[in-house]
Structure 1
């Protein structure tokens, strides 16, 4: 039997490298490859990370397995034991949470030893086996299908259609189901996690092989072009699921299926080192690359590894925000344009959850401290910001727009977004990547207080630190069953201007290789090695825009504290004005990484604090920087825009605030396949193919102008605008004004308003298009013509 994913990481098996092995690094003590300590071998000491695990465990144990199993029971013809949850669990993606929940339980059991988590996981596996047996053909799922008449039925109904070649998808739906293959990928991952972190489970393996048979039969009925049509719908890392099944069973059927599930439109350019990520859904892609990484490990095919490595490099260097997250409104923008996309819809947690998984694969192939520089940044500043630290709710997005607040899921869970699921996992495993080893080398990659068992040396390790708030980290060999000479590698982050290393209180000169300080000596029980890393303030510009900057202290992203989240933020965005910006910072509470500024911020100075701890506060992370002369120009432009808005307001007849409940009721809004949106602090509404939205607006005699507001970076789309069912304009959006909202004026023929007090305004998308989003509509009187 081939190696499973965890066994692979813990083994000394060799895989092809993506780059030439760093011989000098190996000679200095850095191994050619590495594997993490088992999660069960690590116990967190008191810290924000340990608290997050405990809060998450309480959250998991508040959830009901039977409510998550509701649809599985019902569709298998078995009586449900509890009502279904709401939110996404009552939508056509129902069932996706169960896979995440299984992973969360298994990971929490490994991280903390919680037996109740193991008991619940075993129960769910047994119930899934019961449902699968009742179906009788290997099928087991909880997702639903919405028919054209609106009836919601068992999602199994779509697969005979697909096998006949009737395949319909708009990217996230497949014949009326919401991402069914993505859904199954979550279940597979949960079952693998049960095996890896709780113990062998023939029942779980039987579920996966039985379901695999069903899925394989579906794809066997399709030609290669039809497979690509199916894969155009988000399918998660279903390729990883079958690569892993092959690794555990040695059945070539699963490898063949895994390699067939290769989405050419996205993966071929990446294998050819072409960045064509702009305007595609971000998290749809990351799991595909994790699957390719796993296939690279199994097959040795270099192309799979090349695509995974290139994708990681492009995303982390050209598509990521300062906190390590990526994407705006769930989509990648063009490389090096994130400064135009600093909104309240940035940084979906699922993306970072998956990017960290991909990072671990790449690191295992060839240790490189730069990989963990990214991992630390995203883990500390994004993942740790994602959890509400009291009740355990989760953010979907972690907004970076100035003044935006974080929105968390509820205490007992009814939303069940995708990021609720990945949140259950992320906060169950904060100890998983602290310690690594390869050959004889012990590697410390994350400076999180913890104790660990190093089985290869019969050692108990202790990692003591208040990092990132203090600069010292001490590793102690509490016990060492096999003393001897071996290297200890401590990561030196790329941002560190220097470092100091001591052993048992005495300074030593450590070797440097691959982003590590490496001490090789004969170690014995009781030895201590300490590294100190200067936690200096620094400024980091957004990729592609030197004028948009953030402030960091060591690995911590700092944010200006703008006040409580339950207040309002309706002030101008603060800016930094000056030449030596860091000179204006002074410590307020250095131990808590809090700083004040003097004469730096316009319109007024602010206090800076760690961003991830701003759970119930509003923040400013990115700032525009100006010289004094530039700021005078900026002020003048701001005043001119205020004057323009004041003039239009004075001539306004009616204003429609789309996406807001009371204004939409006041204007008698009706719609179909239309949704409210919020973007960059502005509410709006769109309509999808086959839908519309319509509302009433007051009019007055004389020439009128209908003005609609759009975001300037929309992907291509076209739609019609009608007044009382007569088209007055066709609007096409195609990145018209990057990085800005803009208004479009449409003259309204007087014949449409003559003798009326109200008209109906309607937005209708063209086929396979979206209307809008429209961020507000205004009717105002035309300015009288100027007489020459």
Structure 2
């Protein structure tokens, strides 16, 4: 990460003034105690010491080395008419997004090499780059890719076929596909980053010419299009391609790449952010975050204050108004209206890719102007979401981290088929846990060290020739100790230790065991003195229990101990959870918590949990357990009034969930992929906070749904104010119903239940549901479909 110039800092100061006026959470009032900018110690200068984060890196290293580079390269070689050296993997690597994993894999191997010094990881990086060079030379025009294209007749071919069509102005995208290829520019963003990491962390310089050649091919595609066509093309998720091309400009100095980076700009999403407007609701979350990382990188290399403002504004809105207690965001991958967390505590919360990218964005912002609040967010997310995302025994990764009470985490099974997006970002997240512990800057002409994360580690600080060790069991124990075991340039300089916001400015600091006066300024306890070899600086941070409520409902709460989110243990994932969501009752909730194993942040409750006492443990550690994280809070009198209604509503929701055989969230990427959606002249839509899909005259959309024995119902949700339209609903070859929409229920969504004759599903495990518009009509929009078992009394 490149530190800003003085000119950029002056421009940034003007932007910060605007941001401060835009709302809370941007720039806390700073006293000038910190450097104007900062950079992290290089990853290869930091080694993790024993602890959960070191364990995660080692688990990940073994997983990475268990994978076959040749299998991940399969499509790259076949696309270039070269004989593959390994069989293609399954899952997403056998779909039209094939090849995206290789970019993540290159980055992860490079990062593990930097973090641990693993020579085998570096050798594998060098091999992959050699293979990519062979592929690119065979293509002959700079092109190199592993993705494919599915034609309308179902034939799967080389994805390169789409680009002559695009350059001719024939552009078609439903949001996640581009001319029959699944997110090709997103795919290339991952490859670019892998090539850059290979150069940065492994010294494989031949990676850069490959990136230059590929960027040249992409530039030719963009050059053939006018601005409106580029905007149409960028309606398909493109990841952080703008970041990649800006990074290429930084590495080459060629203005061609800066010009291209600025063309990769989605006006629909980014213009409101530049204007300080939060219009994120109903946008696919991880489609947007990398775009802002791209704007951050463009700002760093070209001094564009509007891009800096947009990145800061976006970060503030997401972290303060769209994020859950564990730091993650989004429900079913989509942002919702700000400050509506309590309405979106579901089994589909917190896609890992989102948090991976938000932490990257936080690092950019911190490098521009160090602020403790940025690392309060980073620490919260890193501990509670990122650490929970990898299974410590299998090395598998979650896609979502569910916060709904009783939901189980689903971890990938390392092997043949688990190559979804969060497996890729998981490979990277757990390769670099040492990257943000130590930062450095300059204050009043002096070198300054900043300690932002309390993770056991040793590091070399080149500017002072200092070798140091950070010993800690934080966040389980209060004290962390930094010892200078060697210092090549002894003398006077400041060391800043972050005091987390939850500590409210309270911390005890000692030097060589003696208390020192280190008032907390700008979120840091700063000790400036003449440092010598053997000096030890220690900080003790209070780790008290505290309650955090959602913005929209002060009685929807979570329990934290310091930065750790605590979860009620609801039992093994091997056992179904069929109880009511636990509630917390009483006027002094925290008084009902008794520390049974304080060294591991384990608490038992007495008298405050309904329906019964529960044990609370760190949320991240519940790998194979069911959890409750959010709790409805009641006074004793309110509970007596509400208990019957509360439990009845819980029972109703459980009944619906138990009877559901399959649920289709139309208009949402992963659900549509999981259900093998096929469509023509069909588009995802969003209306009044709900995602859906329609099909225009001459088109259709269809998808698979699971079925089981017995009487079944199909339920579809519509908007009640639609103008007149008619369409047929088919199950396999059977016409289930003809639905007409004509102001059925103005001003509200409504559902229609369609009984399914038993003979339609007899002997089947799944059926194909299809919506066909009548001539000159539209089918839908349909805002979700549920297939469930009928109960006694339902008409079938």
TM-score class, shorter-chain normalisation, is 0.7 to 0.9
| Residue 474 of structure 1 pairs with residue 481 of structure 2 | yes
In the alignment, the residues of structure 2 paired with residue 511 and residue 363 of structure 1 have an alpha-carbon distance, to the nearest angstrom, of 22
In the alignment, the residues of structure 2 paired with residue 634 and residue 303 of structure 1 have an alpha-carbon distance, to the nearest angstrom, of 50
Contact 2:242 2:265 in 1 (8 A): yes
In the alignment, the residues of structure 2 paired with residue 88 and residue 424 of structure 1 have an alpha-carbon distance, to the nearest angstrom, of 15
In the other structure, the counterpart of 2:523 is 515
* Offset, 1:286: 0.4
In the other structure, the counterpart of 2:58 is 54
Given the alignment, which residue of 385, 390, 398 partners 1:387? 390
Given the alignment, which residue of 781, 784, 790 partners 1:773? 784
* Offset, 1:728: 5.0
In the other structure, the counterpart of 2:685 is none
* Offset, 1:782: 7.3
In the other structure, the counterpart of 2:668 is none
In the other structure, the counterpart of 1:110 is 114
Given the alignment, which residue of 732, 735, 738 partners 1:725? 735
Unpaired stretches in structure 1, ≥5 consecutive residues: 1-5, 650-654, 661-670, 676-684
TM-score, with structure 1 as normaliser: 0.87
For residues 281-340 of structure 1, the C-alpha deviation after alignment (integer angstroms, 9 at most, x for no partner) is: 000000000000011111111100000000000000000000000011100000011211
TM-score, with structure 2 as normaliser: 0.86
Query: Where do 1:291-690 residues align within 5 Å?
Result: 291-439=294-442, 440-497=447-504, 498-638=506-646, 657-658=661-662, 673=677, 689=695, 690=700
Contact 1:719 1:763 in 2 (8 A): no
Q: 1:781 to 1:472 in 2, by over 3 A?
A: closer
Contact 1:688 1:769 in 2 (8 A): yes
* Offset, 1:139: 0.4
In the other structure, the counterpart of 2:16 is 19
In the alignment, the residues of structure 2 paired with residue 483 and residue 79 of structure 1 have an alpha-carbon distance, to the nearest angstrom, of 59
* Offset, 1:642: 8.6
In the alignment, the residues of structure 2 paired with residue 468 and residue 315 of structure 1 have an alpha-carbon distance, to the nearest angstrom, of 25
Q: 1:642 to 1:364 in 2, by over 3 A?
A: closer
| Residue 244 of structure 1 pairs with residue 247 of structure 2 | yes
In the alignment, the residues of structure 1 paired with residue 360 and residue 725 of structure 2 have an alpha-carbon distance, to the nearest angstrom, of 38
For residues 17-36 of structure 1, the C-alpha deviation after alignment (integer angstroms, 9 at most, x for no partner) is: 242699995753x1111000
Query: Secondary structure, in 3 states, of the residue corresponding to 1:631?
Result: helix
* Offset, 1:542: 1.7
* Offset, 1:219: 0.4
In the alignment, the residues of structure 2 paired with residue 656 and residue 238 of structure 1 have an alpha-carbon distance, to the nearest angstrom, of 40
Q: 1:734 to 1:80 in 2, by over 3 A?
A: farther
Query: Secondary structure, in 3 states, of the residue corresponding to 1:657?
Result: strand
In the other structure, the counterpart of 2:268 is 265
Query: Secondary structure, in 3 states, of the residue corresponding to 1:333?
Result: coil
Aligned length: 739
* Offset, 1:411: 2.5
Q: Which moved more, 1:408-417 or 1:442-451?
A: 408-417
Contact 1:401 1:620 in 2 (8 A): yes
Q: 1:775 to 1:200 in 2, by over 3 A?
A: same
* Offset, 1:673: 2.6
Query: Secondary structure, in 3 states, of the residue corresponding to 2:82?
Result: coil
In the other structure, the counterpart of 1:65 is 69
Q: 1:712 to 1:472 in 2, by over 3 A?
A: farther
Q: 1:77 to 1:640 in 2, by over 3 A?
A: closer
In the other structure, the counterpart of 1:136 is 140
Q: 1:412 to 1:464 in 2, by over 3 A?
A: same
Query: Secondary structure, in 3 states, of the residue corresponding to 1:545?
Result: coil
Query: Secondary structure, in 3 states, of the residue corresponding to 2:85?
Result: coil
* Offset, 1:635: 2.3
* Offset, 1:729: 3.5
Contact 1:656 1:697 in 2 (8 A): no
In the alignment, the residues of structure 2 paired with residue 511 and residue 734 of structure 1 have an alpha-carbon distance, to the nearest angstrom, of 65
In the alignment, the residues of structure 2 paired with residue 648 and residue 338 of structure 1 have an alpha-carbon distance, to the nearest angstrom, of 22
Q: 1:123 to 1:638 in 2, by over 3 A?
A: same
* Offset, 1:14: 5.6
For residues 469-527 of structure 1, the C-alpha deviation after alignment (integer angstroms, 9 at most, x for no partner) is: 00001111111111111111000000004111111111111143221111111111111
Q: Which moved more, 1:505-514 or 1:381-390?
A: 505-514
Q: 1:69 to 1:770 in 2, by over 3 A?
A: farther
In the alignment, the residues of structure 2 paired with residue 42 and residue 646 of structure 1 have an alpha-carbon distance, to the nearest angstrom, of 49
In the alignment, the residues of structure 1 paired with residue 406 and residue 239 of structure 2 have an alpha-carbon distance, to the nearest angstrom, of 33
For residues 631-666 of structure 1, the C-alpha deviation after alignment (integer angstroms, 9 at most, x for no partner) is: 2333222465599899999xxxxx873359xxxxxx
* Offset, 1:712: 11
Q: Which moved more, 1:571-580 or 1:311-320?
A: 571-580
In the alignment, the residues of structure 1 paired with residue 397 and residue 380 of structure 2 have an alpha-carbon distance, to the nearest angstrom, of 19
Given the alignment, which residue of 702, 712, 716 partners 1:692? 702
Q: 1:162 to 1:717 in 2, by over 3 A?
A: farther
Query: Secondary structure, in 3 states, of the residue corresponding to 1:19?
Result: helix
Q: 1:524 to 1:69 in 2, by over 3 A?
A: same
Q: 1:237 to 1:735 in 2, by over 3 A?
A: farther
Q: 1:698 to 1:763 in 2, by over 3 A?
A: farther
Q: 1:228 to 1:508 in 2, by over 3 A?
A: same
For residues 352-387 of structure 1, the C-alpha deviation after alignment (integer angstroms, 9 at most, x for no partner) is: 000000000000000000000000000010000000
In the alignment, the residues of structure 2 paired with residue 206 and residue 230 of structure 1 have an alpha-carbon distance, to the nearest angstrom, of 26
* Offset, 1:278: 0.2
In the alignment, the residues of structure 1 paired with residue 269 and residue 467 of structure 2 have an alpha-carbon distance, to the nearest angstrom, of 45
In the alignment, the residues of structure 2 paired with residue 296 and residue 345 of structure 1 have an alpha-carbon distance, to the nearest angstrom, of 34
